[in-house]
């Protein structure tokens, strides 16, 4: 069951932050983010779909996805994992291409955490941290909050 959204302030004008609480255990949420066959089922807010997902879960490993728009256009995406703490934290970015090659056009770094609350619920925090304020504003205008929020709801529904 998704619970009401929480509000938390970003740390800087280069950061977007989404905080949500759920009664789903964090192990299930983490599995949804790290197992391709699960990720493909919730990652893109409908009516978009994820048609492909490859995950190499180690620092420097890649997460390759292909998203398909309602009219059939495909958007491949490659991210690189930076930090992995099973069930607790996942950090990834497009600031690198494979083999630590710096991406000339870095957009953002995602820092995801799943905290177990005293109530037994899980608090999910997604920070999107940008190299520039301009990129941050663009990301907000692209609908980060709505998109990531909707994707979170889809994940909760899937693994509940």
Rule CB under 8 A: which residues touch a copy of itself? 11-12, 14, 59-60, 82-84, 91, 95-96, 99-104, 106, 108-109, 111, 129-132
Residue 104 C-beta: closest distance to a copy of itself, Å? 6
Residues 6 or more apart in contact with residue 73 via CB below 8 angstroms: none
Is the Cβ of residue 109 or residue 154 nearer to a copy of itself in the bound state? 109
Nearer to a copy of itself, 43 or 81 (CB): 81
Hey, which residues does 102 pair with through a beta bridge? 96
Largest CA distance in the chain: 45
> Closest separation between CB of residue 138 and a copy of itself, Å?
14
User: Minimum Å distance from CB 60 to a copy of itself?
Assistant: 5
| Angle between helix 144-159 and helix 26-34 axes, rounded to 10 deg | 110
- For a copy of itself, give the closer residue by CB, 108 or 114: 108
- In the complex with a copy of itself, the residue whose CB is nearer, 16 or 156, is 16
Q: Nearest distance from residue 124's CB to a copy of itself, in Å?
A: 17
Instruction: Give bridge partners of residue 124 from the DSSP assignment.
Output: 20, 114
Give the separation between CA 41 and CA 36, rounded to whole angstroms: 9
The alpha carbon torsion through 74, 45, 52, 84 (nearest 10 deg) reads 130
């Amino acid at each position: 069951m998704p619970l009401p959204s929480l509000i938390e302030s970003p740390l800087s004008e280069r950061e977007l932050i989404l905080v949500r609480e759920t009664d789903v255990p964090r192990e299930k949420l983490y599995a949804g983010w790290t197992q391709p066959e699960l990720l493909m089922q919730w990652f893109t807010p409908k009516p978009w779909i994820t048609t492909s997902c490859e995950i190499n879960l180690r620092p420097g490993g890649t997460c390759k996805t292909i998203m398909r728009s309602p009219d059939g256009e495909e958007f491949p995406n490659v991210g690189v994992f930076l930090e992995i703490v099973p069930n607790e934290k996942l950090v990834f970015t497009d600031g690198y291409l494979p083999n630590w090659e710096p991406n000339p056009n870095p957009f953002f770094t995602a820092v995801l955490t799943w905290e177990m609350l005293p109530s037994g619920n899980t608090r999910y925090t997604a920070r999107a941290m940008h190299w520039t304020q301009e990129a941050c504003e663009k990301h907000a205008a692209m609908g980060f909050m709505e998109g990531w929020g909707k994707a979170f709801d889809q994940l909760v529904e899937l693994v509940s």
